[in-house]
C-alpha cells in the first residue's frame, strides 16, 4: 500500500514542480522551494522546542505527556516532509507544524486508531538468558516465558 502511494506522490510532485516552473520560471521555482525549506526549518525548530517545553511542564506537574508525544511525532513527520523537495509535501509539512492543524491531525489519528489500540489482547514477554561465560554465542540458551490474556 505504501509503495503505490510513494510512486503517486513522486509523480504528482514532479508534475506540480514542472507546472510551477513553466508558469514562473525554473530559477524562481528553485528559489521558492529553498525559501519554503528555510521557513519550514525555522518553524520546525520553534515548534519542536515549544512541544519539548510543554512535555517537560506536564511531567513536572505529574501528568503523562501523551499529547505532547503525539505532537512530537507529527512534528517529526512534518520535518521529513519539509526535507523532501516539492510543493505538496512542503504544504503538508507546514500544516503539521501549525498548532491548530497539528491538533486536527492528532485527532484524526486517534479517532481512526482508537478501536485498534483498545481492543488488542495484552501480552507479556519476559526474556532471561544464562550468563555462562564458558559457552560461545552459539551455545547460549535463551529461556523465556510468555503469557497471553
State the chain's mean pLDDT as an integer: 83
Domain-embedded: residue 135:
no
Domain of 27, in residue numbers = 2-119
Domain-embedded: residue 131:
no
Number of domains in the chain: 1
Domain-embedded: residue 137:
no
Q: What are 124's strand-pairing partners?
A: 147
The DSSP output letter for 129 is E
Q: How confident is the model at residue 22 (pLDDT cuts 50, 70, 90)?
A: very high
Domain-embedded: residue 142:
no
The pTM (predicted TM-score) of the whole model is 0.69
Residue 148 sits at φ, ψ, to 5 deg, of: -130, 125
Q: What is the pLDDT of residues 122-145, one digit of tens each?
A: 655 555 555 544 445 566 677 777
122 contacts: CB under 8 Å, gap ≥ 6: 148, 149
Percent of the chain beyond pLDDT 90? 32
Q: How many helices (H) and strands (E) does the chain have?
A: 5, 2
For 101, the grid coordinates are 492543524
Q: Does pLDDT of 93 surpass 50?
A: yes
Amino acid at each position: 500500500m505504501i509503495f503505490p502511494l510513494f510512486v503517486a506522490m513522486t509523480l504528482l510532485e514532479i508534475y506540480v514542480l514542472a507546472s510551477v516552473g513553466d508558469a514562473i520560471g525554473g530559477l524562481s521555482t528553485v528559489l521558492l522551494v529553498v525559501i519554503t525549506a528555510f521557513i519550514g526549518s525555522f518553524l520546525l525548530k520553534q515548534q519542536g522546542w515549544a512541544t519539548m517545553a510543554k512535555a517537560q511542564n506536564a511531567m513536572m506537574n505529574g501528568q503523562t505527556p501523551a499529547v505532547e508525544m503525539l505532537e512530537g511525532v507529527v512534528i517529526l513527520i512534518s520535518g521529513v516532509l519539509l526535507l523532501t523537495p516539492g510543493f505538496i509535501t512542503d504544504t503538508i509539512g507546514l500544516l503539521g507544524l501549525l498548532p491548530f492543524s497539528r491538533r486536527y491531525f492528532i485527532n484524526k489519528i486517534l479517532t481512526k486508531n482508537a478501536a485498534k489500540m483498545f481492543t488488542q489482547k495484552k501480552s507479556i514477554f519476559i526474556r532471561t538468558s544464562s550468563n555462562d561465560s564458558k559457552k560461545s554465542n552459539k551455545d547460549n540458551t535463551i529461556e523465556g516465558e510468555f503469557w497471553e490474556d
